[in-house]
Amino acid sequence: MKIEFTAEQLKYQESFRNFVKTEIIPFAAKNDRTEYLPTELVEKVAKKGYLGATISEKYGGLGYDMITLGLLNEEVGRGCSSTRALLTVHGMVAVAIEKWGTEEQREYWLPKMAKGEIIGAFGLTEPKIGSDAKSIETSAVLSDGNYILNGSKKWITMGQIADIFIVFAKLEGNPTAFLVEKNRQGFSTKKIHGLMGVRASMIAELFMDNCYIPEENMIGRAGTGLSHVALSCLDYGRYTIAWGCVGIGQECIEESVLYANKRKQFGCTLSQNQLIQKMITEMVVNVKAARLMCLNAGYLKEIGDPETIIETWKAKYFASTMINKVAGDALQIHGANGFSQEYPVERYYRDAKINEVIEGTTQMHEILIAKNIMGHK
């Protein structure tokens, strides 16, 4: 693999960075405090076409290659993890429809998603079910050309503003994926507030009480909800999250260097302190290592190598654990100021932790990576 961006990718990267600098970073702290992602921001993201980044040009999307998608998520992740979360979950729904949906589903939903006319969200986790996804309790029953869904989902990113959800339910005991519109009778949501980090990600709980959806709203086939649909979605999700961690890490480095060069203690700047130099060196190396792992996973996706799935697991595992150390060191360098909302590292520190939980906990990653290495099923 030749690690070198094309001229087009570099142009995209600069464009992403400029957008984040002007439209996201100035408002990120306020969005975090209010636990709200403004409609105007979502509209600006949509106008740039970023909600269609993963959607093929055939359906009105941008059709970015996997490296460009990574760069987009890194840059947006630098500015605001909640906005990056919008790209992730919306993209997961688009991936599911384009890969596993019928042509009718693709032609109807994808152009709307690409334009940002509708927002998608991913409904797998339940109040009692997290990592053990095969044990979901939400049920689906076929009756007179409709599926009747009953159950609930929790911690659903963008659940407050999404128009369409991929909901996983058991159909005759087999996990199956369905498209559920928010205006369906029997479907409702409840806002969740008070999160430690990524507070503007518009988290919600979903409720389905005899929720009727048409038979054609199944995605894929009966029983392939986890093995096919969710696998594709979660792989994409892990990939974007890993890149987002790189973005937070890069911001932690830049904020720490800026602070260390200005802050004076004992007659010299912090940057002259060898222990501070050691911390920043480790931050730089770890962020670069995570970026290279992301690039490797993206390259493998681009050439269709099946090893990309496990390499994405590794990239997400390393990046999510790395960013907690990096964000912790950034806060430490800032001292007491690091605990103040006047400095962005306070938010980065809180946002970092969620990455070790979403789309597979650190421990699930360790189990699956180890099993892959040792050849266990």
Average pLDDT in the chain: 95
The mean pLDDT value for 123-127 works out to: 95
pLDDT in tens, 133-160: 889 999 999 999 999 999 999 999 999 9
Structure letter (DSSP) for residue 137: -
Report the 10 Å Cβ neighbour count for 281.
10
Residue 1, pLDDT score: 60
Residue 376, pLDDT score: 63
pLDDT in tens, 255-308: 999 999 999 989 999 999 999 999 999 999 999 999 999 999 999 999 999 999
The mean pLDDT value for 216-233 works out to: 94
CATH fold of 7-118:
Butyryl-Coa Dehydrogenase, subunit A; domain 1 (1.10.540)
Does the annotation count 359 as an active-site position?
yes
Burial tier of 3 (Cβ tally within 10 Å: 0-12, 13-18, 19+): exposed
CA 361 to CA 17: how far, in whole Å?
29
Q: Which parts of the chain fold into alpha helices (H)?
A: 7-19, 25-34, 39-47, 66-79, 81-100, 103-115, 231-262, 274-303, 308-334, 345-354, 362-374
Whole-model pTM: value is 0.95
Q: Residue 175's closest CA among 220, 207, 143?
A: 220
Q: How wide is the angle at C-alpha 345 spanned by C-alphas 256 and 30, nearest 5°?
A: 135
> Pairing relation of β-strands 139-143 and 164-171?
parallel
Question: Which CATH superfamily groups domain 121-222?
Answer: Butyryl-CoA Dehydrogenase, subunit A, domain 2 (2.40.110.10)
Backbone conformation region of residue 337, classed left if phi is above 0, alpha if psi is from -120 to 50, else beta: alpha
CATH class for the domain made up of 226-374: mainly alpha
Domain boundaries, the chain: 7-118, 121-222, 226-374
2 vs 315, which has greater pLDDT? 315
Q: Which of 35, 311, 356, 359 is catalytic?
A: 359
